[in-house]
């Protein structure tokens, strides 16, 4: 089963003619992703890696159905691209682009919610369902099909964790990089819910970072709703206190937002938080052999 | 996210006609005297810094005479804040205050919401209010795209005993603050204190404003905000210009990673194995040899860096490009500091081969590489 993305999901690539768009289209096709259309305004009639390019969703939809879209366009064009995809009726939207203004993402996230679209990103590595399909930039050669669901706020750190899982013989059901921006699409809660309801997922790995309160909220959620074993890692335990937020930020968070508070909240929810990445597969293997 | 100096934040407030006390920005004692004469005494001299608690640190002074203006402005301009000399002062006319309030609006990202806060106990630390008098702090959550009408604030203001004309005026002020955050690509706007003057005016006496760096392309006016540059060290700016994110810390191991999460995890593991990172450095995805070389150049100039650790998991980043950058830097900058490299992912074999030809054995696993770097630091300490 896995979650959100499957072999037959019909995917469009927005910004397919760009440097990143064309490179990763090739990689996604190689992995087996069912890419049915590319969208770049003004480039209709071209082909990228054998994928037909259209000016707009309206044009593309004359030729094919589209279930999901992935965005590689520059930050200043992301809002327009995302609205076009949402209004065209996609069910899953992945935004890889980094540097999208917070207020643009907010508009996109609210629109996606209104239309019932699952949004992943921006500033994220995307999603991969091993053995089926990928939307994004997670290297296909490090994943392997299996029963561990992975959700992460980070990019390269996710690769690190996945690689170590694969090396330990622990395959993955689906890996989701939710992105590191303050405003983003689906978060830990939604991903945890998806994995909880997925019969193919037996255990869950959650990779968090300092800042915000998403991990604390996930801990609360796990306590009430998640019966599958969860193992967590929090990056940035030694990072200096954030320079980003002023007083008002510090106040609602209080001691929340620090690595210590995240670890405490997760531990209280029965979630082990590992000190090193190599401990993650160790705990998963122990759980598996229980 | 970039925090602005008070006067820069106030310039945004001013654009939206949020009422402010008369003030002038100066950079010298002479200018301070001139500003005080023009505004009329008494005035308040306020250091323009990026960290708070200026009052407690002696960086805000009320003065009644020109002699005092000279003395206090010279005193403040001779001080440092955040490791940098204080270069700018805001000279502000003293207004007769009847009551102080607290008001702020911030983006709560994980809920795609705006959090608006208000308290009739202004002037003191908001953390303090939250702790000691939580009933005096109103927190109102809105979706980020809310239409900020004044009536939305009436219930909170009434709870705090504010009614009639004052309620309407304050609601207007709070509404305006939400509008400013929405329209100006801000993530935080805080006023503490917001004051009611003896003659019935509401004024923003302070301004703490954070702008969203990602939106700078559509705000050419932000180029004038020197706070956005002053917060970085010279090396951090040099790195930023090369597209590298770099934060200096106190430690012995210079660290280079591709990706922020991997960088942070590397720092954590350095500490876990018994040493300290001298920096956080992320060359980003798809780094060129030039970028890697630049990163090494910056780290190798720092005399406190005892070992350099490169941790690369190539997705978009290619191993051969990283290896070429490392070799280039070693030659060009004659680097003698030990370099430990962990290299895996795209074009790993090519990268490992290049490094081997130059006498560097790359690790494929992260933890043994970090342990090795920590060991090298410990050996040097002996």
Nearest to A277 by CA among B343, B367, B375: B367
Q: Are residues B116 and B82 in the same domain?
A: no
Q: Are residues B305 and B375 in the same domain?
A: yes
Domain final residue, candidates A97, A120, A143: A120
Q: For residue B1, tell me if it sits in a domain.
A: no
Domain final residue, candidates B93, B119, B145: B93
Q: What CA–CA distance (Å, rounded) separates B170 from B95?
A: 18
Nearest to B354 by CA among B283, B292, B286: B292
Q: Are residues B257 and B288 in the same domain?
A: yes
Q: For residue B212, tell me if it sits in a domain.
A: yes
Q: For residue B156, tell me if it sits in a domain.
A: yes
Q: Are residues B87 and B181 in the same domain?
A: no
Q: Are residues B84 and B172 in the same domain?
A: no
Instruction: Check residue A247 and give its pLDDT.
Output: 32
| Bridge partners (DSSP) listed for residue A208 | A234
**Span B147-167, pLDDT tens digits:** 999 999 999 999 999 999 999
- Residues of A catalogued as catalytic: 247
CATH of the domain at A83: 3.40.50.720
Q: What is the DSSP string of B76-128?
A: HHT-EETTEE---EEEEE---EEEEEEEEEEEEGGGTEEEEEEES--SS-HHH
A244 vs B257: CB contact, 8 Å cut-off?
no
Any catalytic annotation for residue B138? no
**Arithmetic mean of pLDDT, A6-15:** 97
Instruction: Check residue A241 and give its pLDDT.
Output: 62
Q: Are residues B246 and B368 in the same domain?
A: yes
User: What's the number of domains chain B is made of?
Assistant: 3
Would the pLDDT of A100 be above 80?
Answer: yes
B229 in A contact zone (CB under 8 Å): no
Averaged pLDDT of chain A: 91
Q: Are residues B44 and B105 in the same domain?
A: no
Q: Are residues B172 and B238 in the same domain?
A: no
B215 vs A243: CB contact, 8 Å cut-off?
no
A216 in B contact zone (CB under 8 Å): no
Q: What CA–CA distance (Å, rounded) separates B94 from B120?
A: 21
**Arithmetic mean of pLDDT, A60-71:** 98
Residue with tokens 């997760």: A266
Residue in chain B nearest A190 by alpha carbon = B110
B53 in A contact zone (CB under 8 Å): no
Residue with tokens 């604390």: A216
Q: Are residues B73 and B113 in the same domain?
A: no
**Arithmetic mean of pLDDT, A186-215:** 94
Among A149-153, A171-175, B116-120, B234-238, which stretch is predicted with the lowest mean pLDDT?
Answer: B234-238
Q: Which residues of chain B have pLDDT under 70?
A: none
B109 vs A239: CB contact, 8 Å cut-off?
no
B33 in A contact zone (CB under 8 Å): no
B141 in A contact zone (CB under 8 Å): no
Q: Are residues A180 and A85 in the same domain?
A: no
Domain final residue, candidates B167, B192, B227: B227
- Residue A232 structural domain: 126-288
Q: For residue B119, tell me if it sits in a domain.
A: yes
CATH of the domain at A273: 3.40.50.261
Q: What CA–CA distance (Å, rounded) separates A55 from A67?
A: 18
Distance from CA of B39 to the nearest CA of A (A): 30
Domain final residue, candidates A99, A120, A141: A120
Instruction: Check residue A256 and give its pLDDT.
Output: 59
Q: Are residues A165 and A147 in the same domain?
A: yes
Would the pLDDT of A245 be above 60?
Answer: no
Domain final residue, candidates B37, B58, B93: B93
Instruction: Count interface pairs A-B at CB distance under 8 A.
Output: 180
B145 vs A277: CB contact, 8 Å cut-off?
no
Answer for the pair B145, B119: CB distance below 8 angstroms, yes or no: no
Domain final residue, candidates A81, A104, A120: A120
Distance from CA of B110 to the nearest CA of A (A): 6
CATH of the domain at B211: 3.30.470.20
**Which ipTM did the prediction report?**
0.86
**Arithmetic mean of pLDDT, A44-60:** 97
State the best of B3, B109, B215 to mutate against chain A, taking most chain A CBs within 10 Å.
B109
A241 in B contact zone (CB under 8 Å): no
- Residue B207 structural domain: 97-227
Q: Are residues A114 and A24 in the same domain?
A: yes
B109 → closest Cβ in A212, A236, A247: A212
Instruction: Check residue A136 and give its pLDDT.
Output: 95
Between β-strands B89-93 and B84-85, what pairing exists: parallel, antiparallel or unpaired?
unpaired
Any catalytic annotation for residue B5? no
Q: Are residues B242 and B222 in the same domain?
A: no
Q: For residue B13, tell me if it sits in a domain.
A: no
Would the pLDDT of A1 be above 80?
Answer: no
Answer for the pair B103, B194: CB distance below 8 angstroms, yes or no: yes
B124 in A contact zone (CB under 8 Å): no
Answer for the pair A85, A71: CB distance below 8 angstroms, yes or no: yes
């Amino acid at each position: 089963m896995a979650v959100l993305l499957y072999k037959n999901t019909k995917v469009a690539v927005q910004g397919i003619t760009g440097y990143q768009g064309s490179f990763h289209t090739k990689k996604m096709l190689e992995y087996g992703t069912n890419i049915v259309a590319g969208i770049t305004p003004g480039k209709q009639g071209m082909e990228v890696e054998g994928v037909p390019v259209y000016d707009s969703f309206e044009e593309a939809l004359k030729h094919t159905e589209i279930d999901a879209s992935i965005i590689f366009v520059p930050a200043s064009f992301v809002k327009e691209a995302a609205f076009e995809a949402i209004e065209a009726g996609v069910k899953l939207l992945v935004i890889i682009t980094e540097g999208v203004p917070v207020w643009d993402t907010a508009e996109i996230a609210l629109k996606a919610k209104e239309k019932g679209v699952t949004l992943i990103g921006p500033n994220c590595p995307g999603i991969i369902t091993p053995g089926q399909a990928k939307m994004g930039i997670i290297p296909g050669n490090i994943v392997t099909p299996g029963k561990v669901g992975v959700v992460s706020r980070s990019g390269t750190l996710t690769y690190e964790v996945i690689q170590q899982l694969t090396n330990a013989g622990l395959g993955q059901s689906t890996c989701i990089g939710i992105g590191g921006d303050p405003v983003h699409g689906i978060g830990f809660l939604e991903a945890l819910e998806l994995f909880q309801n997925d019969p193919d997922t037996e255990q869950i790995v959650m990779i968090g970072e300092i800042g915000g309160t998403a991990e604390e909220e996930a801990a609360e959620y796990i306590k009430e709703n998640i019966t599958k074993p969860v193992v967590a890692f929090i990056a940035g335990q030694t990072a200096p206190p954030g320079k980003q937020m002023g007083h008002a930020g510090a106040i609602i968070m209080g001691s929340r937002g620090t690595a210590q508070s995240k670890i405490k909240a997760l531990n209280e929810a029965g979630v082990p938080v590992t000190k090193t990445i190599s401990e993650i597969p160790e705990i998963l293997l122990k759980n598996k052999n229980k | 996210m970039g925090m602005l100096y008070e006067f820069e934040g106030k310039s945004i407030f001013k654009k939206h006609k949020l009422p402010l006390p008369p003030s002038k920005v100066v950079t010298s004692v002479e200018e301070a005297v001139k500003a005080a004469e023009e505004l009329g005494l008494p005035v308040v001299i306020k250091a323009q810094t990026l960290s708070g608690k200026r009052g407690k640190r002696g960086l805000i002074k009320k003065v009644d005479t020109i002699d005092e203006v000279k003395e206090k402005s010279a005193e403040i301009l001779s001080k440092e804040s955040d490791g940098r000399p204080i270069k700018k002062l805001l000279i502000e006319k003293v207004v007769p205050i009847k009551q102080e309030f607290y008001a702020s609006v911030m983006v709560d990202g994980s809920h795609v919401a705006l959090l608006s806060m208000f308290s009739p106990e202004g002037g003191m630390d908001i953390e303090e209010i939250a702790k000691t008098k939580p009933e005096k702090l109103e927190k109102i959550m809105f979706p980020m795209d809310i239409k900020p009408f004044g009536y939305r604030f009436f219930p909170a203001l009434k709870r705090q005993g504010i009614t009639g004309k004052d309620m309407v005026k304050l609601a207007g002020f709070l509404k305006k603050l939400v509008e400013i955050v929405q329209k100006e690509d801000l993530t935080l706007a805080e006023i503490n204190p917001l004051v009611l003057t003896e003659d019935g005016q509401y004024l923003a006496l302070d301004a703490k404003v954070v702008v969203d760096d990602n939106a700078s392309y559509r705000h050419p006016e932000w180029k004038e905000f020197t706070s956005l540059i002053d917060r970085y060290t010279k090396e951090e700016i040099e790195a930023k210009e090369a597209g590298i994110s770099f934060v200096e810390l106190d430690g012995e191991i210079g660290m280079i990673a591709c990706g922020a999460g991997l960088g942070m995890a590397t720092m954590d593991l350095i500490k876990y194995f018994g040493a300290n990172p001298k920096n956080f450095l992320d060359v980003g995805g798809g780094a060129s040899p030039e970028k890697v070389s630049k990163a090494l150049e910056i780290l190798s100039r720092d005399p406190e860096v005892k070992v350099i650790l490169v941790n690369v998991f190539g997705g978009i980043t290619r191993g051969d490009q990283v290896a070429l950058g490392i070799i280039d830097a070693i030659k060009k900058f004659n680097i003698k500091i030990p370099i430990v490299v962990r290299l895996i992912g795209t074009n790993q074999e090519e990268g490992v081969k290049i490094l081997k030809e130059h006498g560097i054995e790359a690790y494929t696993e992260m933890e043994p590489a970090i342990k090795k770097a920590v060991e090298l630091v410990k050996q040097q300490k002996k």
